Amino acid sequence: MTQTIVDEQFHPGTALTFEAFRSGFPACRNQTYLSICDKMILHDDVRASIDQFLDHLALASANRVQHEVRVKTAREKFARLVRVAPETVAAVRNVSDGINSIAWALDWRPGDNVVLTADCEHPNNIYPWLRQKERGMEIRVIEPQPDGAIDEDALIAAIDGRTRVMAVASATFAPGHRSNLAKLGEACRKRDVFLLVDGVQTAGIMDHDLDAEQVDGFATSTSKGLLGLYGFGFLYVSPKWIDRLKPAYLSRPAIVQKTDDHSTMGAFDYEYQPDSRRFEVGSFNLAGAYATDASLDMLLRLGSEAIQKRVLRLAGEFHAGLCDLGITPAVPGSGPRQSHIITLGAINAGGHGFSTDPLIQPLSEHLAQCKVAHTIRRGQMRFGLHAYNNQADITTALDAIGQGVKKLKRT
Ligand SMILES: Cc1ncc(COP(=O)(O)O)c(C=O)c1O
């Protein structure tokens, strides 16, 4: 039985207030959640959307084609969020999937190179290139700036006639500086270099216009600011490149089909999809698609410009409050480098989840007791804000940090 699904579409188009949005997050009621750079929290509407999917499974009330409508609408909504055409977006699993897809699809030759800042990138934007190194690609490692931000001028200066790719995060996962994508995009376009962005830290939080930024590829999962689920993500690929990219893996979604009802058999005279769908592989993470379809709906209703404005304002206030407490954050509190991520302490004084900085580790324990959710990355205490955060969160976090610092000074 394949009846038409008439699921709720979560009021597309109507405005949503930030306070109403916040009220749908149970996590915001029992803690001060400042850890989006680690992982998403679940909104009630997102849970309801996943429940719809599970109900359909339980009742056998929908088939795969019907479920895949939610992949299509999620793709379209993500495209709208980052201001690109829907067909330029592929539904993938995560950042690693997107980055590896491009690394294997580019027609590079041994001796060609990729330019990146190893010190600033998540390992999932380094291992894909180490794999290509085994196949003859040179990795050009550029030093970061002393404050831990990427050095756009040095990255551009490292490009030569054999550079095929520049790989960069839209914001570093720590310390959290935002990258100047438009500057890199312009330089890469002029030199026919593929600018591949690991966008997971900023997607859904910072306002992107991937066309204007001249980004060629943008890989993200939905497990952070897009407020979806682990194991579902997007890969944007510029139409300027698509004809030059041959996917490493091939299965039905990547091939032009005569119908979209899955009735076409495999054929020897296949043709790649003319757009980013050529990077889609096999069946989708449908729970992820249902989740993201709902979360993107809310993010679009809030508006990406309004989200960025609110988040940067709150981040600026948090930064100023920390300075008042005598703590200078490791990232700026305003300007183009500012993001939703605020870090404290010396970079690399410790690692993932621990710090050797005499202030950070005990302060982190104190904040955990005060239910201020944060993480330690690269030895730094890290906070990340999103649209659900409000003034009260900032005040609570600053009060807890102030008390913690006082306590530490006494001991
Ligand atoms: C900058 C960055 N890239 C990638 C990832 C994760 O990659 P994936 O989505 O492949 O698990 C993270 C997760 O913490 C990250 O912060």
- Of 50, 60, 58, the C-alpha closest to 8 is 50
Task: Give the tokens for residue 360.
Answer: 């950070």
Q: What's the angle, vertex CA 110, arms to CA 122 and CA 275, rounded to 5?
A: 65
Report the half-sphere exposure of 251 (CA within 13 A, side-chain side). Answer: 7
CA 335 to chain CA mean position, Å: 21
CB 224 within 8 A of CB 40: yes
The Cα 104–Cα 217 span in angstroms is 13
Ligand 1 within 6 A of CB of 7? no
Residues 6+ apart with CB under 8 A from 217: 98, 102, 194, 195, 196, 197, 235, 236, 237, 238, 241
Instruction: State how far the Cα of 220 lies from the Cα of 96, in Å rounded to an integer.
Output: 8
CATH of region 304-410 = 3.90.1150.10
CA of 37 to the centre of ligand 1 (A): 9
Tokens encoding 255:
């091939």
Ligand 1 near 201 CB (within 6 A): yes
Candidate of 121, 201, 382 to mutate for ligand 1, largest count of ligand atoms within 8 Å of Cβ: 201
Measured CA to CA, the distance from residue 231 to residue 234 in angstroms comes to 10
What pLDDT score does 269 carry?
86
For residues 232 and 219, give the distance between their C-alpha atoms in angstroms, rounded to a whole number: 11
72 token code pair: 């299509």
| pTM (2 d.p.) | 0.95
Query: CB-based contacts of 94: which residues, under 8 Å, 6+ apart?
Result: 124, 221, 223, 230, 231, 232, 233
Kindly list the domain boundaries of the chain, sorted by start residue.
Answer: 65-299, 304-410
Q: Which CATH class is domain 65-299?
A: alpha beta
Q: What is the pLDDT along the chain (411 residues), one digit of tens a residue?
A: 334 444 444 455 678 999 999 999 999 999 999 999 999 999 999 999 999 999 999 999 999 999 999 999 999 999 999 999 999 999 999 999 999 999 999 999 999 999 999 999 999 999 999 999 999 999 999 999 999 999 999 999 999 999 999 999 999 999 999 999 999 999 999 999 999 999 999 999 999 999 999 999 999 999 999 999 999 999 999 999 999 999 999 999 999 987 766 677 777 889 999 999 999 999 999 999 999 999 999 999 999 999 999 999 999 999 999 999 999 999 999 999 999 999 999 988 889 999 998 899 999 999 999 999 999 999 999 999 999 999 999 999 999 999 999 999 888
Range list of H helices, 257-345: 286-302, 304-324
Residue with structure tokens 């590896």? 100
Calculate how far, in angstroms, residue 124's C-alpha sits from the geometric centre of ligand 1. 6
What pLDDT does residue 237 have?
98
Q: Are 366 and 386 in contact (CB under 8 A)?
A: no
Q: What is the pLDDT of residue 230?
A: 98
The gap between the terminal CA atoms of the chain, to the nearest Å, is: 69
**What tokens were used for 291?**
């989740």
Quickly list H helices, 325-386: 360-369
Q: Please give the distance, rounded to the nearest whole angstrom, from the Cα atom of residue 126 to the centre of ligand 1.
A: 11
Residue type, 289: A
The enclosing H or E element of 19 equals: helix 18-23
Collapsing DSSP to helix, strand or coil, 178 comes out as: strand
Question: Is the minimum distance from the CB of 198 to ligand 1 under 6 angstroms?
Answer: yes
- Which residue among 37, 131, 179, 221 is best mutated to probe the pocket of ligand 1, counting the most ligand atoms within 8 A of its Cβ? 221
The token pair at 279 is 């990077």
pLDDT value at residue 12:
55
Q: Which of 386, 396, 394, 390 is nearest to 41 (CA)?
A: 386
Spatial separation of the C-alpha atoms in residues 229 and 364, rounded to whole Å: 27
Ligand 1 neighbourhood includes 10 CB (under 6 angstroms): no
What are the structure tokens assigned to 174, written together?
């720590």
122 close to ligand 1 (CB < 6 Angstrom)? yes
DSSP 191: T
Taking phi first (over 0 means left), then psi (-120 to 50 degrees means alpha), and beta for anything else, what does residue 372 get? beta
Cis status of the peptide bond prior to 110, with omega within 30 of 0: no
Give the tokens for residue 162.
């054999």
pLDDT value at residue 45: 98
Centre of ligand 1 to C-alpha 232, Å, is 12
What six digits make up the tokens of 144? 């970061």
3-state secondary structure 317-333: HHHHHHHHCCCCCCCCC
At residue 411, the pLDDT reads 80
Q: Name every residue whose Cβ is closer than 8 Å to that of residue 337 and which is 6 or more positions away in sequence.
A: 149, 177, 178, 331
